[in-house]
Amino acid sequence: MATLNWGMIGGGEGSQIGPAHRLAARLDDCFQFVAGALDHDPLAGHDFGKRLGLNPDRSYGNWREMLEAEQKRPDHIDLVTVATPNSTHYEISKAFLEAGFNVLCEKPMTVTEAEAEDLVLTARKADRICAVNFGYTGYALVRHMRAMISRGDLGQIRLVVVEFAHGHHADAADLNNPRVRWRYDPLQAGVSAQFADCGIHALHLASFVTKQEVTRLSSDFASCLPGRLLEDDAMVNFRLNGGAVGRLWTSSVAIGRQHGLTIQVFGENGGLRWEQEHPNQLYYMPLGQRLQVIERGETNLSPEADRASRVTIGHAEGMPLAFANIYRDLSESILAKRSGCTANPAMTLFPTPEDGLRSVAAIHAAVASAKADGAWTDARPRLFR
Ligand code: NAI
């Protein structure tokens, strides 16, 4: 497979998500890391980029400089990852798409629904990929869940229960920690903190595995730490367009919970349960039979799960490998598009800007519902109503 050129914006030294992207993008040699504007501090970003092995002239002080310079290079980047704080995603992603680059944007894709709508339309007009990093969809057994549900193993889906609850922002002493503070600052995070940060991963997972979209929701938000302007805990009931009932709990003050992303799907003929902290096992309960444990890497899994599985059965596979599946899908899709081939559907499982828009619309619906004492609220993006 050809190696494509990759660059990143954000993900500077000490950032949370930068290292996972750098591991994932390079894991399959689909991409080589050639350019970056890695930090809000130009000197720190430039210095860190050089230490990561970037040529000094491609370790840029800021993203505008990077855009201008990369446009002029014959060996320009083929994909840019935007891993900066939320409020900057829109401007950066839009500028790169309009200049003809493919983009992988961190979630939430934008802060407002109008921005998200505009990115969908910009990507369509530019005819470029604008993926959104709902990276947990890259896990092999999540893809297997989707395949099982799609082929009807559970029958009609009745109920989806998702959680993403951790306790890492529970310490009041951390209120002014700069890496925590921006997440609860409306100017940098937008209208929602925990639901936009973690809840939407869970919500997207519910749609991804069931292939059903969220139609409406009712939410209850809480800010458990005094002084926080945005929520650190949320309970959201939702409905999916295939008729399933959805339940979601997300929290950042659940001391003792680590990452806490789980999904359970219950249909008329059986149930499935998967926990991201134990990603190698999928629990399957067919109606009236014994509980079965499906192991990642076992024979006779779906082709989607086989493709996403990297190491043999019984060995740990984790988050950077799930992200790597997104990067491999992207590289194959970029190459297929360039050569005029139709992409194999298994290569196009990465989340799209339409998914990003749906999530942003759900965030705004959840905020509006919480302000209206849990009133049921239309969660569909205006563009798709
Ligand atoms: P962080 O605060 O740990 O790091 C942010 C990095 O971006 C820092 O290095 C900072 O210097 C840099 N930065 C800020 N503004 C910049 C600019 N204008 N140009 C270049 N660099 C800039 O934040 P974290 O946790 O890494 O989050 C970044 C994004 O990734 C957020 O949108 C967040 O929601 C998302 N995220 C996604 C996860 C996933 O599972 N998909 C997990 C964690 C975060």
| CATH class (in words) of the domain with range 4-135 | alpha beta
Residue 362: predicted pLDDT: 98
Helix axis angle, 140-150 to 319-338, nearest 10° = 70
Minimal-distance CA residue to ligand 1 atom 40: 135
> Which atom of ligand 1 is least distant from the CA of 9?
20
Ordered by start, the domain boundaries in the chain are 4-135, 139-309+356-371
> Which atom of ligand 1 is least distant from the CA of 197?
34
* CATH architecture observed for domain 139-309+356-371: 2-Layer Sandwich (3.30)
Sequence-separated (6 or more) residues with CB below 8 Å from residue 225: 169, 170, 172, 175, 232, 253
d(CA 193, CA 106): 15
Distance from chain centroid for Cα 383: 21
Residue 223: predicted pLDDT: 97
Helix axis angle, 113-126 to 89-98, nearest 10° = 20
Minimal-distance CA residue to ligand 1 atom 4: 15
> Does 63 sit in the ligand 1 pocket, CB within 6 Å?
yes
d(CA 120, CA 123): 5
Q: Ligand 1 center to residue 39 CA distance, Å?
A: 9
Low-confidence ranges of the chain (pLDDT < 70): 1
> Does 77 sit in the ligand 1 pocket, CB within 6 Å?
no
> For 53, left (φ over 0), alpha (ψ -120 to 50), or beta?
left
Residue 299: predicted pLDDT: 95
> Does 37 sit in the ligand 1 pocket, CB within 6 Å?
yes
Residue 1: predicted pLDDT: 62
Residue 343: predicted pLDDT: 79
Residue 344: predicted pLDDT: 81
pTM > 0.85: yes or no: yes
d(CA 159, CA 165): 19
d(CA 7, CA 210): 33
Query: Which pLDDT tens digit goes with each residue over 258-308?
Result: 999 999 999 999 999 999 999 999 999 999 999 999 999 999 999 999 999
Residue 175: predicted pLDDT: 87
> Does 371 sit in the ligand 1 pocket, CB within 6 Å?
no
Query: Which pLDDT tens digit goes with each residue over 173-188?
Result: 988 898 888 889 998 8
Sequence-separated (6 or more) residues with CB below 8 Å from residue 187: 87
Sequence-separated (6 or more) residues with CB below 8 Å from residue 29: 1, 3
Task: List the end-to-end C-alpha distance of the chain, in Å, as a whole number.
Answer: 40
Residue 347: predicted pLDDT: 82
